[in-house]
Structures are given as structure tokens and as C-alpha cells.
Chains A and B, each alone.
Chain A
Amino acid sequence: MRKDILSLLEQNAKLTAEEISVILGIPSGDVENEINQMEKEQIICGYGAFINWKYVDDEHLTALIEVKVTPSRGKGFKRIAERIYRFDEVKAVYLMSGAYDLAVIIEGKSLNDVAGFVSDKLSPLDSVLSTATHFVLNKFKDHGIIFNEQGGEDERMIVSP
């Protein structure tokens, strides 16, 4: 049941417990309990909207920064990751396999904003060995949602056999 609830909420967090109960054919009290429980267990970590910021303002920039770091004794990558993800402008931090260690996704208002973050906050950290910043030019698809997809209209005839 949990997986079913989660996959529904992942697609549409606006669904109410009652709607989910109808969809899955289980009592709405049970759905509510499960959701509360999963929130407590941090399985559900939050709810938000997917926004295509491009349509809202021009001052929105996303960058992916490849960061090479020295892991710290006893704490591995966790300590440095924490130093980085505490910054509000940092939207995501992943530990990667391959050529670099941490992928840091940050959002800023402008190039200067991002550059300032990298030179003033990120690079000076003791364990950071190097950074490589890549700016996102356009987002085509994010979180499984295709932005501005053409042909989203229902092309079917209004009535058909």
C-alpha cells in the first residue's frame, strides 16, 4: 500500500487522502495514517510544486558544480557535504562515482551571484580541492516533467466509437 500511495503522491502531491482512498480502494483513514507515518519516518520529506521559473522571471540561473574534495577522517564525505548543503542557494548535493566527488546544484539570480558563491563560499573551504562550474542553459525536462511540451492538447475527436 505504501508504494502505491507514494507513487500517486510523487505524481500529484495535491491528491487528498480521500481521493487516494478512492483510487486505491482502501479506507481513507488508513491512507491518512500511512501518510502521517511516512512523514514521521522521513520517507516523505516534503511537498512542493514543479515550477518553470523561466516563465516567471529572467533572473533565475541554475548551475551544476563538480567538486573534488578531500574526505575527512572518520566522517568521510559527510562532513564536507554538510558544510556545502547548509547554504540556502544549494538545492542539491550528490556524492558521485567517477571523475569528481560531489555534484552541487545551486540556484542564483545571476552569473555574478553564482560566481560569488563559488569564489567566496565554496572554493575557500579547506577540503575543497577544485571546482568546475557548468551553467544550465535550458531545462527541457525536470523531475520527470517535460517543460513546455508541444502537442499537449487532446487531439482526439470529441466523440468516437
Chain B
Amino acid sequence: MINLFINGLPVSVEEGSTLLEAARFLGFPIPTLCHKDGLSPYGACRLCVVEIGEEPKAKLVSSCTYPAEEGLKVRTASSRVVRARRMVLELLLASCPQSKIIQDLASAHGIRQQRFKQEHEDCILCGLCVRMCQEQMMAKAIGFRSRGEKRSIGTPFDIKSEECRLCGGCMYVCPACQLRCTYTEPERPICGGCANLTPPCLEKRQFDDMMCFMDPCVACEIQKEG
């Protein structure tokens, strides 16, 4: 067993587990897009960032790929982490505003502005479908092609692959094409229609280390201040 601190709480987790697994097991929610149980960790979406270490040497790492270490101090919802996550979400929202999963995450994280150009891409290159095809379906029909801004996922030569059995696993796991967000107001980049989860007290004040079992309630923090 490995002993570490998550949000100040001393916990022990099994050796070899990642920070994401540890935090989720203990009930600390961490949002992810490119992580799925049964598939290898990939660290593509950067939504699962957590802060490790102590000031001034604290740094942000992706919790889905970072193994739990002895004595490590992890903060899963510090203001720095939340700020980073919001930026990631705003960027994801710019590339894929039609995805309901991303729109819901954006609503849950209180994103109220969109400073980037809307791209309406079909893919966020999270690689879930590639890993699904390779690791669960044992097919390896699709993969990454090219690189840089031309990077895309698909079959070789863009023709139907002989390995593909049309299982649909790739579509099942896709966060971008699985569910479409049906905008109430199509011209707005942020929907926020069905998942407006921010409690009213949060709008007024900012809290560091806002985290409790009743996420996103921050009654305890408010009490502490008062």
C-alpha cells in the first residue's frame, strides 16, 4: 500500500494505481474525457489535471497517467487546477461545441464565456476509439494518421479496413459524436441548457480548495470564512 495525501486527507491506495483511480476510489470527482476503465491511460484531454507537491514547487500533472507515490500531496480542486481545467474546457468547447458531453462539463465548471473561434470539429483526438479498437475489440482497424494540425483518426488510405467488423465500439466511446447537444440558442457558443449546476453562492465569491462530499456545495467553506 502507498500512503499519500489527497486534498489534505491521509489515504492509502494500492501500489500501481494512478492518482485518478485513487481519487475516484475515495470519492473525489475528477472530470475526464479520454479515460475509460479497461483502456490504457493516455493523457490526451488534460481535463484530469491535479496539483502535486507543495508550494513553491507544486505542479500540474495529468492524474490519469501519474502513478501514486509515497507521501505525495495531491490537490484535486485547488484554484490553480480549476483554472487550468476551465481553460482546457473552453478550448475543447471551441473545437467541439456540438458535443453534449463537453457542453455539460462546461456547464458544470461554470464556463460562461467563449473567447476562441468556434471550429465545429468532429474529433478532439482523445484516442478513445483507437484504444477501444485495439485493446477491447482486438481489431486495430483505425489509428492516428499524419501529425500536427493535420493529425486525424481513421483507417489507412481512407478506405474500408479489412480488420473492421463494424462493431461500433469506436462510436460508443466517442465523447464528440456519441451525443449531440441540441442548442436552445444555436448562435451561442455555450449552451448551458440542461446542466446549469452552479449553486448561487459560488457566483458571488471564489474559494480555494473548494471540495467536499457534497460537491458542488461549499457551505463548509462559507462557514469557515464567517
A and B co-occur in one complex: no
Q: Identify the B interface with A (CB < 8 A).
A: none
